[in-house]
A and B are shown apart, each in its own frame.
Chain A
Amino acid sequence: QVQLVESGGGLVKPGGSLRLSCAASGFTLTDFYMSWIRQAPGKGLEWVSYISSSGSTIYFADSVKGRFTISRDNAKNSLYLQMNSLRDEDTAVYYCARDPRYCSGGSCQAVLDHWGQGTLVTVSS
């Protein structure tokens, strides 16, 4: 069955770096778009980044652009989020999610059908 397991979260000081990993099983990562979504404590969901199945399209929210990068290791079937220059406001639970794309009327858009359990990132001095 489809499973996504995030790791790599922890406590980091402002300005520091962290790399999150998302190990996928039950499907091939490169067959799907993959996303990182975060949720600050007591807040709603925020789309952080996604990578297309081909890897040719990458998106970042304005709030993380220039500081975060997304990548994949196809051999390990794993997704990564490299987070640099971390700020207090990056404190959140980070989820990876699979996006099989929902297509209707000739266009396709994101839909997240499987999520990991999340990993907590705390940015604090």
Chain B
Amino acid sequence: QSVLTQPPSVSGAPGQRVTISCTGSSSNIGAGYDVHWYQQLPGTAPKLLIYGNSIRPSGVPDRFSGSKSGTSASLAITGLQAEDEADYYCQSHDSSLRGSLFGGGTKLTVL
């Protein structure tokens, strides 16, 4: 079980909005460490989607947004498209582990 907890799966219809949560604790997100998000399309390597809680790298559509509050972070995807079907991982630093770690991942299904 990961220290950063994500729902195993979420789903939504094309055009809808979905959110993926990443719940941590006082030793990681709650301690002020930032959260990054990665998208892993089927059969491919992960790709940086959001960094610094809410910053999109160049080329990432503004349909993707991130936020952080307290000991949790969220990834929101609006205007859902079939191509968004992928696994999504959050990542942060943990002071107790003295290292970085990933959430368990969330599989997004576009209905």
A105–B32 CA distance with the chains assembled, in angstroms = 9
Give the total of A residues in contact with B, Cβ under 8 Å. 22
B105 near A45 with CB under 8 A, answer yes
Give the total of B residues in contact with A, Cβ under 8 Å. 26
A46, CB-defined interface residue at 8 Å: yes
Q: How far is the CB of B22 from chain A (nearest CB, A)?
A: 12
Q: Which positions in A face B, CB cutoff 8 Å?
A: 37, 44-47, 59, 61, 95, 102, 104-105, 107, 109-118
Q: Which positions in B face A, CB cutoff 8 Å?
A: 2, 32-34, 36, 38, 44-48, 51-52, 57, 89, 91-93, 98-105
19 further interface pairs, Cβ-Cβ under 8 Å (given A102-B52, A109-B92, A111-B91)? A44-B103, A44-B104, A44-B105, A45-B89, A45-B105, A59-B98, A102-B51, A105-B32, A109-B93, A111-B36, A111-B48, A112-B36, A112-B38, A112-B46, A112-B48, A113-B48, A115-B46, A115-B47, A117-B45
